[in-house]
Structure 1
Amino acid sequence: MTIAVTGLRKSFGDQVVLDGIDLSVPAGTVFSLLGANGAGKTTTVKILSTLLGADAGDARVAGHDLAREPDAVRAAIGVTGQFSAVDKLLTGAENLRLMADLHHLGKSAGRRRVAELLDQFDLAEAAGKPVSSYSGGMTRRLDLAMTLVGSPEVIFLDEPTTGLDPRGRRDMWQIVRDLVAGGVTIFLTTQYLDEADELADRIAVLDHGRVVAEGTAEELKRRIPGGHVRLRFAGEQDRDAALGILGEASRDNDALVLRVPSDGSLGALKTLIDRLDDRSVAVDELSLHTPDLDDVFLALTGRPTDEKVTR
């Protein structure tokens, strides 16, 4: 595992922010820590990126022990926080050159790396302009480009699309996909459920300092009641026959449509179809409806993601 966390704890005074969380993140994947605004996601990132000490627990990042090898961890990671770390008085190229100097790349290697990143993040035309003239999306792209100057193995993205318009968010999502395709591991914290659904290979839900659920987006959705299969029939005869076979089915608003409770698994669908097929009941249309991550989060935590709960 590129990131392995066991029993991580952190309190501020008598306020418990992290209450013994366990996390495992395979290399070359996107792992999303999902939680309400202020639920401790940023605290987790600060600890795993060596910016804040934990009260208890063990963690390894990129193969290095967080407590005993903090310098090695820092050399292997990059961090992009909620708020841009760029210097708006400098140009985009100057910001990147500054990072290259901090990474001791050398003059020629630094120039090459800066040029590569300007092209990769579609900032070449704006490279000589002060960052104060950049749009929000351009600033966030530059911020992430600066994180990549040192070619990190692991990147912590803490609320990376906060404040971006829909196009800027989609641009950032594509950048994340490209990074993962190149072998980088992404640890993503977000309160945007659609962002986690779109990007994450696995998701952990954080509530009151504990991980209350973990899995793929589809696995989490299947845990929540409300999933169903919607069956449309060509005529009343087939609909009535299906009602007789599927005792748990209920009529939809449409007279020729039935709703059958289902967890959406392949096995459940196959069983449903086989039952109808054995009785030669023709289905005109079949569609699967599952809860979304909003339903998952509300069911697991009892509150929407925009409610402020803890630090």
Structure 2
Amino acid sequence: MPLMKTYYVVKPLIPRRVQLLLRRMRMRRMLPGCRHAWPVCPRAGRAPDGWTGWPGNKRFALVLTHDVDTSRGQDRCERLVSIEEKLGLRSALFFVPERYSVSSSLRHQLVSRGFEIGVHGLKHDGKLYSSREVFENRAVRINHYLRQWNCCGFRSPAMHHNLDWLQRLDIAYDASTFDTDPFEPQPQGMGTIFPFHVPGNGDHDGYVDLPYTLPQDSTLFILMKEKGSGIWREKLDWVVRHGGMALMLTHPDYMEFDGRPAFDTYPAAHYQEFLEYVQSRYAGQYWHALPRDVARFWLTHQTKQEELTDYAEPRGHTLHA
């Protein structure tokens, strides 16, 4: 964590192109040693104890989420959700309350159209977990936005997380983890493609954690420079075979809807092509749900089964300060 703190101190001084170049170099060095656990971590496919299946006896769950990191991303939200609407799909969009001016009209419009809104950190400056005091102070503001926006979901920027500290938030679910992603600042994955319940600690009731289980778009298309959705399809097929949750995390900030992509964007067509693949190959076989609905389902069905056995933290899970 000290190295991470140093990085976020100097990050504003490093040009964006240089940041991406350094991250690409790091990924190229790491990738050969990660093939055994990414994009597929074999042990993550084991169903939790007492698992009885998804609603409607569907083979898997499909959950679409987006982090809106900047005002540029907010400006592109309409183009993004229009793709999903045309396919009869809906998603959850997580906005950063105090990094840019979040449009209240956009939030209300999205909700009225069947989309979900969530809170994405507070300032997106890498300092949320820098100390317990900082987190406690910011938790007050985050809870304010959760109430003001009438939402129940949270995701930390850069997938930083401390599942114990998150008890301070008034949430039904957190989405700041992943099954496997060795390229993240906190690389320890949860080791599961299923949701899991984080029990309360006395003062709080606990919450459901929803790990993303398909690689982030920024990893595939900005850092790895993939030319299509092949890795997404490969991972999805594996998740389906194991009956898990296919939870996507993409960013409208990085999607290019017109013209030639820039150094830090990719064609939005990659995302649309993947959604069309899901619908054509697995028509009628998946439960398409918003994160809040998955959390509600897990709390009312699977959590009862988990409580019948001694609770164990998900495989690979460590708490980080």
Q: Which has the higher contact order (CA 8 A, sep 6+)?
A: 2
Structure 1 length as normaliser, TM-score?
0.28
Larger radius of gyration: 1
Structure 2 length as normaliser, TM-score?
0.28
Greater share of strand: 1
